[in-house]
Structure 1
């Protein structure tokens, strides 16, 4: 009996040592190398683990000066009860930068883009079960229609995206275009529709910003566009990031920060509706 005790003790020591080693290694093997943020389809890049650190320093949108010539004017809110539409809160709203010239009682709604076929975002308070006619129109400086499209109301109230398709004429550089988003709630069309409208201008980014964009991740792209006063790409990039990472609290905070900064605090908490039918 005594001769067998040493091998048995040696086996137990080795077994215990191996078990302890596996237990100590388990947390290391299970530790993720990336954050829990979802993979982002925009640009094929993933948000990295320092996302929240970056977003903690809120990006500021640098509003560019108004274009030369007559003030663009426009409407950022639809207007209560206009066109026979029921009163809602929030009202029909264009998610676009604007300035309020209180001295002259004029609101100027305008923004810059760098792409030929940009996207617009609107908060729409009405749903598809209502028989309202909705239309998006884009015109050149001579009020000629560039694009006109009937828009289907969404399943639920929220922020919807309207994109200029590649089949439509491209926006020319340094040209201004006026857009309209209208909702006609009056079947007889005896009343004017409720609408929002503003001016968009396509510009070129400075070479340094263009070079930086070539290697930047989506979150950094958003910051570059915002810092250079490019409203439409800043908003589109951030909206896509939010849709691809719906549980990311930092992105939600940045979205609120952006809309709050232009006076659209009441829209910041509204859902961004999916582009997919």
Structure 2
């Protein structure tokens, strides 16, 4: 009897030992820790134990509410409206303003965003090239519109060598935008030389606002990518877009900036524009520099 009990005892000892080992390991396997973590250059949390794993938190653009008064209306996409004759060739995507817009219950679109600078920049996706010889114009005027609306700026715009996103800046020689005042802008392409058909155009309203002193100080002392994040979170569309576009211009191969660009345009439902070439003037030359989203 003793000789038969020895294997049985040995079996229970082995089973108990293995079970204890599994139990002791369970908390370790069931509760993965971040270990020694750090933030990368863009403020995202990167796990040192898993160098290929990044917990990226996309910057969020916070759309401000429309100011009181008549809705601004506007048009974020070009192309012919119902009942209009098509003066320009059909293009997908159409002429597009890189600006936030809201759609009301009555199908009215409001194109409106804020700036903090006296002479801001606008960005437009243009599907046509200089070979088409179309007449292009940017106009800025006081808002609300009336017969006596004062025109602030009018400029003929040269079409690029290839379809892409272009920048139109208000020159410092023009009157500065006033704080808390709204202005209406138009970007128009006339494709019919005989002017028998209407042009394709986009339009919207821009308002200059002031930030609180603490935010201004933060913007003055932080690096460009964080400035972009601050502008986006504060609902300052024009500076957020301009800052990110300039960063991409300086770092055309930066994959993280390309992701931020797609996220920003995707947040205002312009995903189809996010992968289009970005065409910006270089500071030292009027030539266009091409940046492609990979």
Report the TM-score range of the alignment, normalised by the length of the smaller protein: 0.7 to 0.9
1:108 lines up with 2:99 in the alignment = no
Give the equivalent residue in structure 2 for 1:92. Answer: 95
Give the equivalent residue in structure 2 for 1:56. Answer: 56
Counterpart CA distance in 2 for 1:57 and 1:247 is 21
Give the equivalent residue in structure 2 for 1:149. Answer: 155
Q: Secondary structure at the match of 1:225?
A: helix
1:123 lines up with 2:129 in the alignment = no
Counterpart CA distance in 1 for 2:86 and 2:134 is 10
Q: Which structure's CA Rg is the greater one?
A: 2
Asked whether the 8 Å contact 2:75–2:202 carries over to 1, the reply is yes
Q: Secondary structure at the match of 2:252?
A: coil
Asked whether the 8 Å contact 1:83–1:186 carries over to 2, the reply is no
Moved over 4 A (4+): 80-83
Counterpart CA distance in 1 for 2:222 and 2:85 is 44
Gaps of 5+ in 1: 1-47
What per-residue deviation string (whole Å, max 9, x for no partner) do you get for residues 80-119 of structure 1?
4865100011100000011111x11100001000000000
Counterpart CA distance in 2 for 1:147 and 1:127 is 23
Cα deviation, residue 56, structure 1: 2.4
Cα deviation, residue 208, structure 1: 1.7
Asked whether the 8 Å contact 1:83–1:185 carries over to 2, the reply is no
- Alpha carbons of structure 1 residues 82 and 184: separation in structure 2 relative to 1, 3 Å: farther
Asked whether the 8 Å contact 1:82–1:193 carries over to 2, the reply is no
Cα deviation, residue 49, structure 1: 5.9
Number of residue equivalences: 229
CA RMSD across the alignment:
1.6
Gaps of 5+ in 2: 1-38, 46-54, 288-294
Cα deviation, residue 230, structure 1: 0.2
1:193 lines up with 2:196 in the alignment = no
What per-residue deviation string (whole Å, max 9, x for no partner) do you get for residues 208-265 of structure 1?
2111111110000000100000000000000000111000001000000000010000
Asked whether the 8 Å contact 1:83–1:184 carries over to 2, the reply is no
Query: Structure 1-normalised TM-score?
Result: 0.80
- Greater fraction strand: 2
Give the equivalent residue in structure 2 for 1:161. Answer: 167
Q: Secondary structure at the match of 1:74?
A: coil
Given candidates 238, 250, 256, the residue that maps to 2:262 is: 256
Counterpart CA distance in 2 for 1:211 and 1:170 is 22
Counterpart CA distance in 1 for 2:200 and 2:172 is 28
Cα deviation, residue 266, structure 1: 0.2
Asked whether the 8 Å contact 2:79–2:86 carries over to 1, the reply is no
Counterpart CA distance in 1 for 2:86 and 2:93 is 17
Give the equivalent residue in structure 1 for 2:209. Answer: 203
